[in-house]
Chain A
Amino acid sequence: QLQLQESGPGLVMPSETLSLTCSVSGASIYRGSFSWGWIRQPPGKGPEWIGTIYYSGKTYYNPSLKSRLILSGDTSKNQLSLKLTSVTAADTAVYYCARPTLMAADAFDVWGQGTMVIVSS
């Protein structure tokens, strides 16, 4: 059974880099036709797609975050990672990793529990 678990610092200082990992169990991140997504949700607001990384390593980023964002995968640890530079209070959110259904690459059917990130000094 596929399970995703996000982890991160919880609190990040403004202008610093946010680094999150998503540990994947039950499937290999670089096998098959899998892609993996990151979505965030600011408190009291709707979800915002951050980006998607494909099993080939190809990435798609939200245009509003592209200049600050790097998504990658570590096959040895079967983990996904997110790095977001120069964070501000606007980056405060619950961050989720998710996997799309095989039938629709933009429909996320397996989600992690999410990790809350607060950007504050």
Chain B
Amino acid sequence: QSVLTQPPSASGTPGQRVTISCSGGSSNIGSHTVNWYQQLPGTAPKLLIYSSNQRPSGVPDRFSASKSGTSASLAISGLQSEDEADYYCAAWDDSLNGFCVFGTGTKVTVL
């Protein structure tokens, strides 16, 4: 059902900057803010970014995000080994009376 498309994988060496894209449409990212989640194996997703570019308390400022048009992106600067995880974007979609949709997910590997 996902209408938010992410690359399946991304990688970088420690200290590098990694960027993950999230492509949607006019009914979701084009009309609403984007949230980003990090999921470590065997754990619940953790909110990293809300309202397209806001970090909840406790999230390192190495994580940043932006939105433009119908796409969004998450950047991880100064990549660390503990950043190896799955990352999902999410947004509200106005179609079919409205629903929340998650992205396809991106596995970040720290080389």
Report A's interface with B, CB cutoff 8 A: 37, 39, 46-49, 52, 60-64, 96, 98, 101, 103-104, 106-109, 111-114
Classify the interface of chain B: helix, strand, loop or mixed. strand
Q: How far does the Cβ of B44 sit from chain A's closest Cβ, in whole Å?
A: 4
Flag B74-111 by CB within 8 Å of A: 1 or 0 each: 00000000000010101110001111111111000000
Shortest C-beta distance, B47 to chain A (Å), equals 4
Cβ of B51 < 8 Å from any Cβ of A? yes
Is the Cβ of A104 less than 8 Å from the Cβ of B50?
yes
Give the distance in Å from the alpha carbon of A68 to the alpha carbon of B20 in the complex. Answer: 35
- By the criterion CB–CB under 8 Å, are A107 and B51 in contact? yes
Contacts of A98 in B (CB 8 A): 44
- Chain B positions within 8 Å of A, measured between CB atoms, are 1-2, 32-33, 35, 37, 39, 44-47, 50-51, 54, 56, 86, 88, 90-92, 96-105
Q: A96-B44, A112-B44, A114-B44 are in contact. Are A106 and B102 (CB under 8 A)?
A: no
Is B1 in contact with A106, judged by CB distance below 8 angstroms? no
Beta-carbon nearest neighbor of A94 in chain B: B44
Chain A residues with Cβ below 8 Å from B101 are 49
Tally of contacts, chain A with chain B, CB under 8 A? 70
The answer, among A37, A47, A113, for a CB contact under 8 Å with B37, is A47
* Among A52, A62, A107, A111, residue most surrounded by chain B Cβ atoms (within 10 Å): A107
Sample of 9 more A-B contacts, CB < 8 Å, known A47-B88, A49-B100: A37-B100, A46-B103, A48-B1, A52-B100, A103-B54, A104-B33, A106-B35, A106-B90, A108-B35
In the complex, chain A residues whose CB is within 8 Å of the CB of B56: 101, 109
**16 A-B contacts, Cβ less than 8 Å apart?**
A46-B102, A46-B104, A47-B45, A49-B99, A61-B99, A62-B99, A96-B44, A98-B44, A101-B47, A103-B50, A103-B51, A104-B35, A107-B35, A108-B47, A111-B45, A114-B44
